[in-house]
Amino acid sequence: MAQENAAFSPGPEEPPRRRGRQRYVEKDGRCNVQQGNVRETYRYLTDLFTTLVDLQWRLSLLFFVLAYALTWLFFGAIWWLIAYGRGDLEHLEDTAWTPCVNNLNGFVAAFLFSIETETTIGYGHRVITDQCPEGIVLLLLQAILGSMVNAFMVGCMFVKISQPNKRAATLVFSSHAVVSLRDGRLCLMFRVGDLRSSHIVEASIRAKLIRSRQTLEGEFIPLHQTDLSVGFDTGDDRLFLVSPLVISHEIDAASPFWEASRRALERDDFEIVVILEGMVEATGMTCQARSSYLVDEVLWGHRFTSVLTLEDGFYEVDYASFHETFEVPTPSCSARELAEAAARLDAHLYWSIPSRLDEKVEEEGAGEGAGGEAGADKEQNGCLPPPESESKV
């Protein structure tokens, strides 16, 4: 038992190491990638609506103001040119003269009439007459164009205000990921939670490993993406996110961490990106929240503290301990070595079953010697099967 406790102990904590790795995805979900030397900038204008929605707020408000001000000034100048070309400005005091627009006596009046026309205010002081066909055509054109500008700009502002990424701000990820045993197998785990009472519908979770690799042909891929299974085959990646959930990636033969021990993991250089997607219950819009974990943010031999308690008639979630973890006995070897050690132990116990009393004595003696060698080998590698499996056998 002392050997087991020694093998399962996480060991002395090493001092934190400074790493210079640049994050691919920030903790708040922002992708740390900037587009440079984009020569085909005209493509942004072909999708002007999305371009305006993606702009920063100060630029969006500036474009919003300019869109209205420039159209008012443009049509105001045309109304003034019509009045000037017809001679209306020269017959301001002539009551027998029928102008194109009544009470239009200058550029300021033309600008105000343009605003009244496009916004359909209609104060009644300045009004177009029926003796101006060019004015009637311009009135129709400005009314149509003004409606288009209103629909476009109001639509942009509405979409920008109701963007689903604002909903992602209330979806939280644990500050650390942990590696520990679950049902006798090493698992990489992290926790997600929703701070709002309105739920994310059809929520699903994904995880990707970002790590540089070199192919057999010598090609270097700096940011190679590998899927980490979080229950896609079993449906566990579909979440009912009412309370915080611990998402688990089982380190099996298909996992990129299959041969990674504790020391190897600490020396590695990678980033784990987690992506939570779903529909906002209130609006039906798709929402995506992202976060990432560097090597220094993966704690070996830790487990998350429980945040759910049963109160009088309801469950209460304590988000004060959402990011807290505690140490648990975990072997420091890789998942492959742990599986091989468990297989050797199962094989030894199977062949040690006696069929007769005299064979029992001989096999017990041989079993003790083999068990001592196997125990020494496991203790040397820091890898023993979990106590639960031994007790079950």
pLDDT in tens, 86-130: 888 888 888 889 899 998 999 999 999 999 999 888 888 889 998
Q: How far apart are CA 154 and CA 152, in angstroms?
A: 6
In terms of Cα–Cα distance, which of 264, 341, 366, 265 is closest to 7?
A: 341
In terms of Cα–Cα distance, which of 71, 66, 283, 51 is closest to 156?
A: 51
**Cα atoms in the 13 Å half-sphere on the side-chain side of 380:** 6
Question: pTM of this prediction?
Answer: 0.71
Q: What's the CATH number for 20-36+166-327?
A: 2.60.40.1400
- How many other C-beta atoms are found inside a 10 Å radius of the C-beta of residue 283? 12
Q: How far apart are CA 239 and CA 205, in angstroms?
A: 7
pLDDT at residue 369, as a whole number: 45
Which residue matches tokens 């779903």? Answer: 278
pLDDT at residue 55, as a whole number: 86
pLDDT at residue 349, as a whole number: 62
Angle (CA) 85 87 91, round 5°: 160
pLDDT in tens, 160-179: 887 777 788 889 999 999 99
Domain extent listing, the chain: 20-36+166-327, 42-161, 335-392
pLDDT at residue 380, as a whole number: 40
pLDDT at residue 51, as a whole number: 86
Burial of 386 (0-12, 13-18, 19+ CB in 10 A): buried
pLDDT at residue 392, as a whole number: 40
Assign domain 42-161 to its CATH architecture. Orthogonal Bundle (1.10)
Q: How far apart are CA 388 and CA 393, in angstroms?
A: 9
**Under-70 pLDDT residues of the chain:** 1-20, 348-393
